[in-house]
Amino acid sequence: MTRKDRTEGIYSRREVLDESERRQYYQIQIKDLLSYAYRYSEDVKKRFDRAQFQASKFKTLSDLKHIPILKKKELIFLQSMGPRLGGLLTKDMGELRRIFLSPGPIFDPEDREEDYWGWTEGFYACGFRSGDLVQVTFPYHMTPAGLMFEEPLKNLGCAVVPAGPGNSATQLEIMQKLRVTGYVGTPSYLMHLAQKGEEMGLNLRKDLYMEVAFVTGEKFSEKLRANLEKKFDIIMRQGYGTADVGCIGYECFHKTGLHIANRAFVEICHPDTGIPLKDGEVGEIVVTAFNKTYPLIRLATGDLSYIERAPCPCGRTSPRLGSIVGRVDTTARIKGMFVYPHQVEQVITRFEEIKRWQIEVTNPGGIDEMNLIIEASNFKREEDLLHKFREKIKLRPGLTVVAPGTLPPQIKPIEDKRKWD
């Protein structure tokens, strides 16, 4: 298959709507969603009633600003408030296909409808085609990523190697022996595989058969993209979404930003007030996915970006997100997983010897590294601490023990020192 074959194809009608058609499409989808959610979701009904918002009076997209923002971190508390995940769901949990668990902890429900997470159009835009054999390196246990990304590949006629993370030498052996053509995972793990392969004496361009890669879960620099595309001789594109709502945006071949998926309406809002900002202004990504089962209306993701509407050479007419430029809060996404300070604190409080702590995140060579720094005297429970950290956070950090009083008086719980150029 040539690179041209991977960049051309037939778009769905919704991908090429003009501005007025798209606005009308959004208004119809949102009005239907608001009415349904108010009727069947106890949480939505409470939110709307508190705000004195009447779904029946929704007329234009600007009316959405009257609905209070729902912060992602609020889901941790809301889901514990009663049946149907605190009333966030519009059906009983036994009617779903799966329920996952993400860090937080936050439950992520999956309904039984086709392409529930909405990634098929994004994977097609990235260059996956029927007949590809794709290695998925996201976890398949508890968190949704592995199965979430397998479904669009099935829809496009691809075969999947459900590899999950880890076992780098085995991953490379599979890629070589089965002539795997596609990769799905984090960019840092692909760089790790590249380094491991070179250490093993592989010529990544000649001994492997990779043609296309989809990456997500981490900030993705152009320097890292260029490095990996050169090493593997592949087309490499990224997507953006969350475990709560699925696909929000994705890149096409031309790399002009993240095309907003047709399954969602995205606003860029002021992080403090929730007021929508003008195109080009940086603010928090607030998404309303057209999901009647789990209607997270105006969900604030905590990520910062901006809207771009200039025409894209690919022909898709959807608005686009610019790059993800940072986070609003103190959470960090490390190796594709959210790390919440309150979860770290829950681990640390089990160890009376630890006086203070800080997490430092770096990315030497484009690979995320997390180091837990603790202040303690005569600390001898390192393995116990690391085991409980991994059990709670799903990641194993490096550990540095320093004397009490070493850390500065005022510190951020998570110090992100990653560089992206």
The pLDDT of residue 293 is: 98
Residue 46 predicted with pLDDT over 80: yes
The strand pair at 133-136 and 182-185 is best described as parallel
Residue 397 predicted with pLDDT over 80: yes
Instruction: State how far the Cα of 321 lies from the Cα of 249, in Å rounded to an integer.
Output: 7
Which residues make Cβ contacts (< 8 Å) with residue 264, sequence separation at least 6?
118, 245, 247, 248, 287, 288, 289, 290
pLDDT band of residue 421 (cuts 50, 70, 90) is low
- Is 283 a member of any domain? yes
pLDDT band of residue 192 (cuts 50, 70, 90) is very high
Q: What is the pLDDT of residues 88-129, one digit of tens each?
A: 999 999 999 999 998 888 999 999 999 999 999 999 999 999
Among 291, 309, 327, the domain boundary falls at 327
**What tokens appear for 336 in the block?**
């594709």
**What tokens appear for 372 in the block?**
């837990």
Looking at the structure, tell me whether residues 60 and 151 fall in a common domain. yes
Closest CA to 337 of 364, 372, 361, 304: 361
Looking at the structure, tell me whether residues 230 and 179 fall in a common domain. yes
Mean local confidence (pLDDT), 313-321: 93
- Is 111 a member of any domain? yes
Looking at the structure, tell me whether residues 177 and 243 fall in a common domain. yes
* Contact assessment for residue 381 and residue 408, using Cβ atoms and an 8 Å cutoff: no
Which residues make Cβ contacts (< 8 Å) with residue 165, sequence separation at least 6?
137, 138, 139, 185, 189
- Is 252 a member of any domain? yes
Looking at the structure, tell me whether residues 299 and 378 fall in a common domain. no
Query: 241 pairs with which residues across the strands?
Result: 247
Looking at the structure, tell me whether residues 321 and 338 fall in a common domain. no
Question: Which residue range forms the structural domain that includes residue 357?
Answer: 331-416
Which residues make Cβ contacts (< 8 Å) with residue 239, sequence separation at least 6?
119, 122, 123, 126, 214, 215, 216, 247, 249, 250, 251, 258
The pLDDT of residue 157 is: 96
**What tokens appear for 265 in the block?**
């309406």
Residue 355 predicted with pLDDT over 90: no
- Is 156 a member of any domain? yes
Residue 296's φ and ψ, nearest 5 degrees, are -85, 80
Residue 379 predicted with pLDDT over 70: yes
Distances (CA, A) of 73 to 79, 90, 93, 415: 11, 20, 21, 19
* Contact assessment for residue 61 and residue 29, using Cβ atoms and an 8 Å cutoff: no
Mean local confidence (pLDDT), 189-196: 95
Mean local confidence (pLDDT), 170-195: 96
Q: What is the pLDDT of residues 49-69, one digit of tens each?
A: 999 999 999 999 999 999 999
Looking at the structure, tell me whether residues 111 and 223 fall in a common domain. yes
Residue 9 predicted with pLDDT over 80: no
Looking at the structure, tell me whether residues 354 and 272 fall in a common domain. no
Among 67-81, 266-280, 354-368, where is mean pLDDT lowest?
354-368
Residue 1 predicted with pLDDT over 80: no
The pLDDT of residue 323 is: 83
Note the pTM of the prediction, 2 decimals.
Answer: 0.83
Looking at the structure, tell me whether residues 131 and 256 fall in a common domain. yes
Looking at the structure, tell me whether residues 312 and 341 fall in a common domain. no
The pLDDT of residue 3 is: 64
Looking at the structure, tell me whether residues 303 and 350 fall in a common domain. no
- Three-state secondary structure call for residue 240: strand
DSSP 342-395: HHHHHHHTT-TT--EEEEEEE-GGG--EEEEEEE-SS---HHHHHHHHHHHHS-
- The helix (H) or strand (E) run that includes residue 215 is strand 212-215
The pLDDT of residue 184 is: 98
Burial of 62 (0-12, 13-18, 19+ CB in 10 A): exposed
The pLDDT of residue 343 is: 81
- Is 115 a member of any domain? yes
Q: What is the pLDDT of residues 323-344, one digit of tens each?
A: 888 888 777 788 877 787 878 8
Among 327, 347, 373, the domain boundary falls at 327
Residue 7 predicted with pLDDT over 80: no
Residue 2 predicted with pLDDT over 70: no
* Contact assessment for residue 133 and residue 182, using Cβ atoms and an 8 Å cutoff: yes
Residue 205 predicted with pLDDT over 90: yes
Residue 263's φ and ψ, nearest 5 degrees, are -90, 5
CATH of the domain at 93: 3.40.50.12780
Looking at the structure, tell me whether residues 366 and 320 fall in a common domain. no
The pLDDT of residue 134 is: 98
Instruction: State how far the Cα of 358 lies from the Cα of 104, in Å rounded to an integer.
Output: 18
- Is 249 a member of any domain? yes
The pLDDT of residue 4 is: 65
Mean local confidence (pLDDT), 301-321: 93
Looking at the structure, tell me whether residues 156 and 247 fall in a common domain. yes
The pLDDT of residue 297 is: 97
The pLDDT of residue 324 is: 84
CATH of the domain at 393: 3.30.300.30
What does the mean pLDDT of the chain come to? 92
Instruction: State how far the Cα of 389 lies from the Cα of 334, in Å rounded to an integer.
Output: 14
Q: What's the structural domain count of the chain? A: 2
DSSP 296-307: -TTEEEEEEE-E
**% of the chain residues with pLDDT over 70:** 98
- Is 18 a member of any domain? yes
Among 327, 358, 386, the domain boundary falls at 327
Bond before 105 cis per omega within 30 degrees? yes
- Is 421 a member of any domain? no
- The helix (H) or strand (E) run that includes residue 414 is strand 414-416
The pLDDT of residue 63 is: 95
The pLDDT of residue 336 is: 76
Burial profile 148-157: b = 16 or more Cβ within 10 angstroms, e = fewer = bbbbbbebbe
Burial of 112 (0-12, 13-18, 19+ CB in 10 A): exposed
pLDDT: which is higher, 418 or 63: 63
Residue 10 predicted with pLDDT over 90: no
